[in-house]
Structures are given as C-alpha cells and as structure tokens.
Amino acid sequence: MDVELQILKHLARDAHPTVAIIDEYCAEYKDLFKEVRNYECFKYLHLGIISTIKRKSLPEIAKVVSINSAQSLHHFIAYSDWSVNELKIRRLNKIKRILNGRAITLVIDETGDRKKGKKTDYVARQYLGSVGKIDNGIVSVNAYGVYSNITFPLLVKVFKPKGTLKESDKYKTKIELASEIITELIESGFNIELVLADSLYGESSQFIRKIAEYNLPYVVSIRSNHGVWLPAGQSVRANKWCKFERTFSNQKSETRYIREIIYGKKRAITYWEITTDPETMPENSTSFVMTNLQGNLKKTLGDLYGLRTWVEYGFRQCKQELGWTDYRFTNFQHIERWWEIIFCVYTMISLNSPAFICLNKSLKIEAEVQEDSSVDFSNHKQWNHECGWKNTLNNLRLIIQPLLLFWIIYPWLDIFPNSHLLLGFNHLIAAMNQFKPCYASG
C-alpha cells in the first residue's frame, strides 16, 4: 500500500452527516464519545427513534437508517466506552441553559412495563400501571418537567424489588426514589414552582416532608378511601359544592365542581374533591387532592392538578412513539443507556416546540431561527401548525423524510442509474438542512 494512502486511512475522520436538525442537536454531546463510530451510532439512534417505524428495536432502526447490520448499534449500547451519567448531566444542563431560571412544574410518576421471563434485571411480579394489575415486569420512577404546556424528561430511577437485588444494591422504595429525584433536581439548580404526583406519593408522609423541606408548593392525589386518624370528639365535614370553569391546555373550558373536606376542628388536614357533576356521584369518578397552596383554590386547584395528566400523555409518547420498552437487553446497565438515549431524543423534540423556540429568541441565543430560513416549511400540506409536543414530532418527521426515502431508494440506483433522480434528492435533502433548529449552544 502506498505510504500516503496508509497514513490517510488512519487519520481521524468526521462523522457521517444525517440531517441538520439531528446533527446540530447531537453536536453538543460529541465530546462524550471517544470514537467517531460511537458518535455516528448516537446520531443514527436519534434519527431512527423519531422515524415513523412502529417498533424501535435496533434491527428495525438499522433498516430505516440504512445500516447493514444492527450489530454496531448493539455494540454502541452494550459495550462502547461512554458514560450514561455524563450524558444525563449534559442533557439536563442543556435544558437549564434554555430555561434560564424560569420556573417549571415537576411531575413525579411511576411506570411499569411487562417483561417475559426472569433474566432481565429487576423484573419481578409487581403492580404495573400500564396494565393496571400485578404482572411480571420492570418499574421505574420518572420525573418530567412542564413548561408552557410542553413536557420534557428530567430523571428516571429504576425500582429494584427485594428479590432482585444484587450485592451492591440497596433496597429503596418508590417514595425514597422520588425523594432522591427531587433532591437532585433542586441541587442541580432547577427552579420548581409546583410538584404534582398521584396517590402513591400523596399518601406518603415521607414524600410530603421531603417537599416541605424545600418549601415547594404541591398538589397531590389522595384515594377516596384514604383513612385519617382524628382525636376524640373531632369529625369530618364537607363544604358545599362550588362551580368553577376548568381550563384545559388547549384553552377550552368545561364546568367542574369542587368542595373542601375538612378533617378536625383546626383544619389540620384538608382535602379537596373535584368532579364533573356532584349529582351523578358515586357513579361519576371524582378526584381527591391535597395541597399546601393558599388563597382561593376553586379554580386554580382544578387547573393545576389537571397538569398531572400531561405526564401520562408524555410517557405514552415515550412508549408509543419513541420505543421506551422496545429494547432487547437483560442487563440493566444497557437498559439504562437505552432509556437515557430515549430521554435525549425526547428533549430534542421538546426543544423544537414553539414554546422553547420563543425562549431561544428571547435569550438572543446565537442560533438561527426557523423564520430566518429562505424555505417556508410550513407550506407542506401535512405540516402541523399546532403547538403540542406530538405536533412538533410530526413536523420533525417531515424534515427527515427525504433522507430516509433516499436511503431506501439508493440501492436501486446502482441497478437503474438515474442522475436526475439522484440530483433531485440531493437538492431536496439540502433544502431540508436549511431547517434551523433552535438549540442553546455554548
């Protein structure tokens, strides 16, 4: 071999480009991957996860991003040298930089997913929220942020049942895991204006004490049959039902009813009950909530607790759209890496939402915004002009569509050469790269 060619062969090369929206987002994580091939796999996973394929398994992702074998993606997840903790810290710092001290709503919830067999770490028979019963599966406690009606992922911790613990593990309840998450977020500098959680956490005095320790406002759920011990001579009474207008995230409103339930004479414990129509009780479901908010809560409490449903929406997107449960790993270290990559992709989508784009404009971040482009992408017939997270995902899928289609059709061009088609695809992909993401850099 010629000496010059041999030298060139061993020189460091740049990562193969994908689409500008992916490349520019992933660029901030580039230094976390020592080898260029690992960084390429990181980008390919982002591309495949936001694609329209139903199952986000590594073989399916390899097909859609035109990789000959899924083995490289599997090696990247399982064996390559990169730190999931450093990736998490970099992602959280990116979110904090864009929020720039703005207050967020924190939602704590757990999710469980079915898993067959007993070989996967921390899988046991336990209650799974996704199926609503006890089954074989894995459970995690998750924290999501909400800003201007857009959810974004923060932290996840796996629940380790006692029968599945390893030598280095320490058993922690879901309450303890949720408390640790709140501590980590506070210490990392997030400005939390409200904490929302369901009855598992709302009925835990340990969790409520942790929130009170940081003086955080909260609205938590309480089961309707939740019992309270009262001193002798004290009773429970309920005020009259009051009507209020429940305002949803799409700015539509409906009539709801709310009343205060007081336990004891000194109002040491006060619950609020919310329903669509008190005359239909008990057939119609009600929500019991506990809060430390002050003032007139008839409207604000109903609206604030309604925010908790967003995490159900958010995690449904993680599972249905981004492939949260589509991994084929049994080692939790590999599963944790997969989950963190899913969170990175979720964050990328959230940062492209109109709410975060406006933040970038207001901060005058040195990144071109979409309006500066000479191409008006919104003229596409399938472009979604709504402001939700799923609407943003659908628009990003339109941006990456030409490249994915080109990779599908390119092998045929070896058999039936067509320079006009090849040139047309190049022009179309170049146009897609004019779509400028609005990420904070620095």
In this structure, what DSSP letter does residue 248 have?
Answer: P
Contact in structure between 112 and 126 (CB atoms under 8 Å): yes
Q: Which residues pair with 113 in a beta bridge?
A: 138
| Residue among 60, 51, 66, 23 nearest 410 (CA) | 66
- Categorize the per-residue pLDDT at 238 as very low, low, confident or very high, splitting at 50, 70 and 90: confident
Cis peptide before 437 (omega within 30 of 0): no
Within 10 angstroms of residue 258's Cβ, the number of other Cβ atoms is 23
- Categorize the per-residue pLDDT at 189 as very low, low, confident or very high, splitting at 50, 70 and 90: very high
Q: What is the pLDDT of residue 252?
A: 80
For residues 258 and 276, what is the distance between their CA atoms, to the nearest angstrom? 9
Average pLDDT over residues 85-103: 95
Average pLDDT over residues 265-273: 65
Kindly tell me the sign of the dihedral angle through the C-alpha atoms of 101, 103, 107, 108.
positive
Output 375 or 140, whichever has higher pLDDT.
140
pLDDT above 90 for 142: yes
Within 10 angstroms of residue 368's Cβ, the number of other Cβ atoms is 12
Collapsing DSSP to helix, strand or coil, 402 comes out as: helix
pLDDT above 70 for 379: yes
For residues 56 and 370, what is the distance between their CA atoms, to the nearest angstrom? 29
% of the chain exceeding 70 in pLDDT: 88
- Categorize the per-residue pLDDT at 282 as very low, low, confident or very high, splitting at 50, 70 and 90: low
Q: What is the pLDDT of residue 442?
A: 39
Q: What is the pLDDT of residue 1?
A: 47
Average pLDDT over residues 60-66: 93
pLDDT above 90 for 355: no
pLDDT above 50 for 441: no
Quote the tokens at residue 2.
Answer: 């010629």
pLDDT above 60 for 370: no
Give the range with max mean pLDDT: 2-11, 24-33, 125-134: 24-33
Q: What is the pLDDT of residues 297-330, one digit of tens each?
A: 555 777 777 777 777 777 778 888 999 999 999 9
Least confident of 38-47, 115-124, 367-376, 408-417: 367-376
Residue 420 region, left (φ>0) first, then alpha (ψ -120 to 50), else beta? alpha
Average pLDDT over residues 245-259: 79
pLDDT above 90 for 121: yes
Question: What's the 3-state SS for 163-227?
Answer: HHCCCCCCCCCHHHHHHHHHHHHHHHCCCEEEEEECHHHHCCHHHHHHHHHCCCCEEEEECCCCC
Domain boundaries, the chain: 3-83+332-432
Average pLDDT over residues 366-370: 43
